[in-house]
Amino acid sequence: MKSIRPLRWLAYTSLLVGTIMASWWILRPRILHCRSINPGVICKFNLRSILQTMKIYANDHAGAYPQDYQVLVDSGEVIPKSFRCVYADAIPDDLNACYKYITGQGEWVPDDNVIIYEISDCHGNDGGCVAFGDGHVEFLTHDEIARRVQQTREWLLYNAGPQP
């Protein structure tokens, strides 16, 4: 078996290095774009997955959502990491540090009721994500979040108790 001659080895190495460098320049914009993804997108995904899990829970519990997030974690349906905004300085074990849950609701609530919302300091002054009764998630300003949460609490005050 012959060994690779030094010039061939140099040619193969140059070709390999050239391929790696060309790949870097082609993929570089994509890599940099992935680093700059809006954190609101990640929070929307987290809220949507939590809300979907709550809806699955409600199917087995007469349409009522769980009393707290811990029920979902204990069932193994959601991991604790899903309850944290990636940019928040929150305590890792606190499930309510980033996303607040308005309890006492279920499948019977109006579509515009707020089920889960982000606390005000997760995204600075930009706003936060809100999960609604119909399952959709929006990024709203802090003032709009406060208004919608107040409407939901008023609705719950006048329509308290589980509904069939």
Question: Does 164 fall in a domain?
Answer: no
Which tens digits make up the pLDDT trace of 47-74? 898 899 899 898 888 888 999 888 888 8
Residues 5 and 78 grouped into a single domain: no
Q: Are 98 and 84 in contact (CB under 8 A)?
A: yes
Average of pLDDT values for 11-38? Answer: 65
Q: Are 79 and 112 in contact (CB under 8 A)?
A: no
> Residues with Cβ < 8 Å from 98, sequence gap 6 or more?
43, 83, 84, 85, 88, 90, 118, 119, 122
If one counts the domains in the chain, the total is: 2
Residues 83 and 106 grouped into a single domain: yes
Residues 80 and 136 grouped into a single domain: yes
Residues 116 and 66 grouped into a single domain: yes
Look-up of token digits 């979907």:
52
Q: Give the residue numbers spanning the domain of 12.
A: 1-36
Residues 27 and 49 grouped into a single domain: no
Q: How confident is the model at residue 86 (pLDDT cuts 50, 70, 90)?
A: confident
Residues 20 and 49 grouped into a single domain: no
Burial class (CB in 10 A: 0-12, 13-18, 19+), 58: middle
Q: Is the pLDDT of residue 45 over 80?
A: yes
Q: How confident is the model at residue 2 (pLDDT cuts 50, 70, 90)?
A: low
Which pLDDT score is estimated for 131?
A: 93
Which pLDDT score is estimated for 130?
A: 92
**Nearest of 85, 81, 60, 86 to residue 69 by alpha carbon:** 81
Residues 23 and 102 grouped into a single domain: no
Residues 30 and 87 grouped into a single domain: no
Question: Does 163 fall in a domain?
Answer: no
Residues 48 and 114 grouped into a single domain: yes
Residues 32 and 55 grouped into a single domain: no
Q: Give the span between the Cα atoms of 161 and 124, in whole angstroms.
A: 35
Q: What percent of the chain has pLDDT over 90?
A: 19
Which tens digits make up the pLDDT trace of 14-25? 776 677 777 666
Q: Is the pLDDT of residue 128 over 70?
A: yes
Q: Is the pLDDT of residue 133 over 80?
A: yes
Residues 84 and 146 grouped into a single domain: yes
Question: Does 27 fall in a domain?
Answer: yes
